[in-house]
Structure 1
Amino acid sequence: MARPDQPLVLHLRGLKGDSHVTDVYRSALGMVEDVCASEQRIRVHCFMGKSDIVRAWLRKFPNTYFGVTAAVPVFDNPQLEGLKAIPWNRLLLETDSPYFLRGKARVGTPAYIWETAAVVAAHLDARTPEILECATANARELYKL
């Protein structure tokens, strides 16, 4: 179903307890290689992987974007290294509403994107507005808006 003129959006999840989703990311990379040209625009939704996964995807598909959700506050060290490995021009922010709740919220909404950006910014030694602007520009580029 992949089309060269449209982004391929991948929502990849591992088995319960597989917080890094490594096997799924590697398996999906092999499957995508079989059907897409290296120029394909790809969005890896809800990325929670390690730095080697970021590098592998970008090596094969340089137009891969990685969406980081409100789950980033619970990232372990390998996942934080994965976040740091994402080039700023390939970083997207996501809330994955209504799934990832913030604080005492009962429902997740896109209104919490600022909080996600703030946590990402803290890990990348950046300012929150910088991350928001960067992710917005990247989304426009990915979707040709």
Structure 2
Amino acid sequence: MLGIGNNGFNNMIDTHCHLYDASFQEDFYEVIARAKANGVEKILLPNIDQTSWKPLKEAVNNSSIPCYTMLGLHPCYVRENYEQDLSFFRQELVTGHQELTAIGEIGLDLYWDKTYLSEQKTVLRRQLDWALEFKLPVALHVREAFEEIFGVLTDYKTSSLKGVFHCFSGSEAQANYIIKHHPSFFFGIGGVITYSKSGLCDLVQMLPRDRILLETDAPYLAPSPHRGKRNEPAFLIPVAQKLGSALNISFHEVCQLTTANAQQLFNFNV
């Protein structure tokens, strides 16, 4: 553990972390302590489905690091009964929107299965509309579906919609499209940037620096040298270091830059 320290100098924000995942159940408080010792000052928790909603809120309440709640239905969990899921989340949104930081994790995923693409699009549009209604940013999950999600987002180009392409995995052309056509959207950069064959180190150099965010997506996608292990917020350090190397800026500058960007998008009150 590098022990950067929670000194107000090199603090980082993990903008996407499933801290409520069952893999953290046994050592939740140790994970939080390591995150704090390594300069993580805020953690954003994206929701997955109805079953994750209660554990998510419990994690927020139990963490000594400020955690921020997202609400949403992940595309991989969209099935025929999606109206039931949306009804549940709509009620939670109406009654508790003051406690929400974003709508997410929402989007399109065609990596495993294309069976529910139509339903995924319907669910995505509904949740994008919620984001506009309640003036919240969105955290987008896009896997093997950039052209499809660009088609959906075209209808929102003149709106105030803003958000982040979480764990961005697109091409240079897709990044350029976002930069040009969706200027209110950011790029989430996580552990994949440390993978030698990812190509992300080259891609981030073309991104506007005021549109880059740090994330872990823990417990998934642990960065090198932890690849293959459970990811956790403390592992933001190798991500930030690799990002700094790619951009030719210091670790401190990465922390300053990405923290300011997260504040700009999510508008933290605390």
Q: 1:17 corresponds to which residue?
A: none
Mapped pair 1:74 → 2:204: no
| Partner Cα separation in structure 2 for residue 13 and residue 75 of structure 1 | 20
Query: Could you report, residue by residue, the CA deviation over 1:79-130 in whole angstroms, capped at 9, with x for unpaired residues?
Result: 4332112111000011110112242473210011111000111111111111
Moved more, 79-88 or 109-118: 79-88
Mapped pair 1:108 → 2:231: yes
1:83 pairs with one of 204, 214, 226: 204
Q: 1:50 corresponds to which residue?
A: 171
User: Does structure 1 conserve the Cα–Cα contact (< 8 Å) formed by 2:164 and 2:186?
Assistant: yes
Q: 1:65 corresponds to which residue?
A: 186
| Cα distance change on mapping 1:67 and 1:129 into 2, 3 Å | same
CA shift for structure 1 position 75 = 5.2
Q: Which runs of 4+ in 1 moved over 6 A?
A: none
Moved more, 70-79 or 28-37: 70-79
Identity of aligned residues (%): 24
Q: 1:6 corresponds to which residue?
A: 136
| Cα distance change on mapping 1:140 and 1:104 into 2, 3 Å | closer
Moved more, 25-34 or 115-124: 25-34
Would you say how many aligned residue pairs link Structure 1 and Structure 2? 136
**Ranges in structure 2 where 5+ consecutive residues have no aligned partner:** 1-126
Q: 2:260 corresponds to which residue?
A: 137
Instruction: Say which structure is richer in strand.
Output: 2
| Partner Cα separation in structure 2 for residue 81 and residue 30 of structure 1 | 26
| Partner Cα separation in structure 1 for residue 176 and residue 159 of structure 2 | 14
RMSD: 1.9
User: Does structure 2 conserve the Cα–Cα contact (< 8 Å) formed by 1:50 and 1:80?
Assistant: no
Q: Which residue type is aligned with residue 72 of structure 1?
A: I
Q: Which residue type is aligned with residue 43 of structure 1?
A: V
Query: Could you report, residue by residue, the CA deviation over 1:31-84 in whole angstroms, capped at 9, with x for unpaired residues?
Result: 111245354212100012222212101211111100001111125475433211
SS at match of 2:221: coil
**Ranges in structure 1 where 5+ consecutive residues have no aligned partner:** 15-23
Q: 2:244 corresponds to which residue?
A: 121
Q: 1:94 corresponds to which residue?
A: 215
| Partner Cα separation in structure 2 for residue 143 and residue 26 of structure 1 | 26
| Cα distance change on mapping 1:98 and 1:60 into 2, 3 Å | same
| Partner Cα separation in structure 2 for residue 87 and residue 58 of structure 1 | 8
Q: TM-score, normalization: structure 2?
A: 0.47
| Partner Cα separation in structure 2 for residue 109 and residue 94 of structure 1 | 10
Q: Which residue type is aligned with residue 149 of structure 2?
A: A
Q: TM-score, normalization: structure 1?
A: 0.84
Q: 1:25 corresponds to which residue?
A: 146
| Partner Cα separation in structure 2 for residue 75 and residue 83 of structure 1 | 14
